[in-house]
Structure 1
Amino acid sequence: MNKFLVNFLFITCICCTSLFAQEIDTVPINTKGLNIKLKRSPLPSRLLPLSFEPVKLNPAIVNAKVNYWKTQTNVGFNINQASFSDNWKGGGTNSIAVGGLLNYKAEYSKNSYNYVSEVILQYGKVKNKDQLQKKTNDRIYWDNKASFQLSKNWYFFGSVNFESQFDKGFSYSKNADGSEQETIISKFMNPGYLTESIGFEYKPNKYFSTRIGTGTARQTFVLDTTLYKTNAKNFGVTIGKRFRNELAFQIVSAFEKEIFQNVNLKSRYAMFIPYENIGWLQIDHRLDVGLTAKINRFMNTSLTGVVLFDKDTDAKVQASQTLALGFSFVFPR
């Protein structure tokens, strides 16, 4: 019995010692800062050669084309109507006015070459009760410009533009019985202007540019040779002739930018200085300004104005202004 007890205690001590030793061996040791060098294994090692097999990859063909054209079309339509009962004491005249606008712009740009074509078509009429209908807008304008970049902000350009009107224009007066009568003073291609220009363009950013046309020619057309009877100046064309050519120095500045959120300002100033007769009173000026405020996706309000001085049409400054509320559609959106 004593012998069995002694053996049992001996085996128990051995087991406890083994467990204690195993527990101590698993305690982690922080080796940071210790200069420990591992000895190279004395056992031989063999590196197997690496084998590479060529893999044939089929090239991926992407069917994509670069489009150097950028286009935008703006179509606008506005209408204004007012009516009053016969016993309306506040005064007023029944009237209706309609107007339309088409503005198309296409631009091609590749490397140092740039081409821009812009078409502006405007027409509007107003009819008041017991009066003749009258035009509020009438314009055909087509401008084409090709340019080649010379430096960061300077380009060499050539341009051709055409301008006229759709409908007949009248002056109005009253006859002996007080009713209105009209006298024709202009119509399509009476006058019509064709202008060619070459020179240099300064374009420091996307929204402003100035053309300096050192070589500019303008042809004025008056195809109706009898129009001088109601328009004494005949738009500068010699009476009996249909055509006049002028050589000149021209400056054209353009500005178009969203100055506030949903508010766009577009303006264009043109100065035409004929070489034939240089003088302050011989210089033609035209300033077009348009301010458009977007109300929602399809509606906007616009304020446009034109200031014009042309010695061949009138000796005084001419001006027009239009305020409109209407619908506008822009493609692409």
Structure 2
Amino acid sequence: MLFRCLIISIFILLQNPALFAQQTENPSDTTLLKDLRQYPRRNALPVRRPVIFPETVRLPEPEALELSINYWRSWTSFGANINQASFSDNWGSGGVNSLALGGQASYKTDYTKGDKNFVSDFLLQYGKLKNKDQLSRKTADRIFWDNKVALKLSKSWYFFGSLNFESQFDRGFSYAKNAQGNETRTLLSRFMAPGYLTESIGFEYKPVKYFFLRIGTGTARQTFMIDTNLYKTNPKNFGVKPGKGFRNELAFQVVAAIDKDIATNLNLKSRYTMFANYEKLKSIDNRLDVSLTARVNRWINVSLAGIALYDDDTADKVQTSQALSLGLVYKFPR
């Protein structure tokens, strides 16, 4: 019976070959996916690329844009410091009550356009110290104003002309004690006694922004003494003849200055001046100002400043001054 059923099935397949072909010729899923990936064919549709026609656009003249360039740069700073000490009457190590106050203001402006340059540097300093049972003393007293115009000759050389003014605010004294042990003072100087006005022309070497060297081949300095009786207590009278109020000198001058941040929040500023009177070349005036300023934070600075000065019209030996201060400083622009 089973054999008969198998024979019948083979006979039916032989009589219907289409049914067998339909089963065997049906494509597999992989073949179908392959055929589907062939459509659509790449670049089957033509693509028309656009044609670009550049057109020149004319901008308005600079005057029409109302643009302006500021060739001026300015820096301003104000500072104040205070130092106070007090001791009880039975303080075993000894000491004296004291109070010191000081202030400083500076302004600098710079104008540079093409080959032309103008710089103005203005500085005011004043400080006072008072110890118990002693007369008050000055710790700082200076008015300084320096102006320079220059014309660029090459990459680092300029032809310059400068005008410089220097004096002080308050009276200056020397101090001593009399036979009774009381403190006395002798007047040495005051405002515009002396006062200095210096004009100079020459060449300036400025290879970098923070350093310059001026060589003033033609320099004149006027010394003013508005107190014509000062020679009675100060015999040298700052080189001015006794009883006179004016002196003029022709000289060769060298000025070198540096103002540079040598480390993070640490600035070094120094200025050296040499003044050689053509009539007294054996006696040359020299002055060196150096200050080192450390910025503690936005408002507080610590500064160490020193001055070394030799001027035989004031003293026979080198004069020195040193000051260490902690104070508040405000600068703008920040």
TM-score by length of 2: 0.85
Which secondary structure does the structure 1 equivalent of 2:243 belong to? coil
Corresponding pairs, count: 314
What's the CA shift for 1:317? Answer: 0.9
Q: Give the SS at the match of 1:89.
A: coil
Match of 1:137 among 137, 140, 145: 140
What residue identity is the alignment partner of 1:286?
R
Shift of the alpha carbon at 1:14? 9.5
- Give the partner amino acid of 1:303: L
Q: Deviations over 1:200-221 (max 9, x none)?
A: 0111112211100000000000
Which of these residues, 223, 226, 240, is aligned with residue 226 of structure 2?
Answer: 223
Structure 1 pair 55/331, CA: closer, same or farther in 2 (3 Å)? closer
Shift of 1:172: 1.1
Match of 1:12 among 17, 22, 28: 22
> Which of the pair has more CA radius of gyration?
2
2:100 equivalent among 97, 102, 115: 97
Give the % identical residues: 58
What residue in structure 2 maps to residue 196 of structure 1?
199
5 Å matches for 1:228-243? Answer: 228-243=231-246
- Residue aligning to 1:37: none
CA apart distance, 1:6:
2.8
1:119 match: 122
**CA shift in 2, pair 1:24/1:231, >3 Å:** closer
SS in structure 2 at match of 1:9: helix
Residues in 2 aligned to 1:11 and 1:4: alpha-carbon distance in whole angstroms: 11
| Structure 1 residue 232: Cα displacement | 0.6
What's the offset of the Cα at 1:53? Answer: 11
SS of 1:81's equivalent in the other structure is strand
The structure-2 alpha-carbon separation of the partners of 1:50 and 1:286, relative to structure 1 and needing over 3 Å to count, comes to: closer
> Compared with structure 1, are the counterparts of its residues 71 and 13 closer, same or farther at alpha carbon in structure 2 (3 Å cutoff)?
same
CA distance in 2, matches of 1:20, 1:125: 101
Which among 85, 108, 112 is matched to residue 109 of structure 1?
A: 112
Within a 5 Å distance, the mapping from 1:138-287 to structure 2 comes to: 138-279=141-282, 282-287=283-288
Alignment gaps of 5+ in structure 2: 1-10, 39-45
Using the alignment, how far apart are the partners of 1:308 and 1:290 within structure 2?
15
Distance (Å, rounded) in 1 between the aligned partners of 2:285 and 2:139: 23
User: 1:176: how far off?
Assistant: 2.4
Encode CA deviations 1:212-243: one digit per residue, 9 max, x unaligned.
00000000000111111011111111122211
1:55 CA displacement: 10
- How much has 1:75 moved relative to structure 2? 1.0
Q: What's the counterpart of residue 330 of structure 1?
A: 331
- Name which of structure 1's ranges 190-199 and 235-244 shifts more when overlaid on structure 2: 235-244
Q: SS of 1:12's equivalent?
A: helix
Paired position in structure 1 for 2:5: none
Closer, same or farther: CA 207–57 of 1 in aligned 2, 3 Å: closer
The 2-side partners of 1:326 and 1:209 are apart by 29
What's the secondary structure of 1:203's corresponding residue? strand
CA distance in 2, matches of 1:55, 1:293: 56
Distance 1:51 1:102 in 2: 64
- Paired residue type of 1:83: S
In structure 2, relative to structure 1, the CA distance for the partners of 1:128 and 1:207 (3 Å cut) is: same
Distance across 2 between alignment mates of 1:97 and 1:20: 98
Q: Equivalent residue of 2:260, what SS?
A: strand
Structure 1 regions of 5+ residues with no counterpart?
29-44
The residue type paired with residue 331 of structure 1 is: F
Q: What is residue 311 of structure 1 aligned with on the other side?
A: 312
1:16 aligned counterpart, secondary structure: coil
Mapped partners of 2:50, 2:185: distance in 1: 103
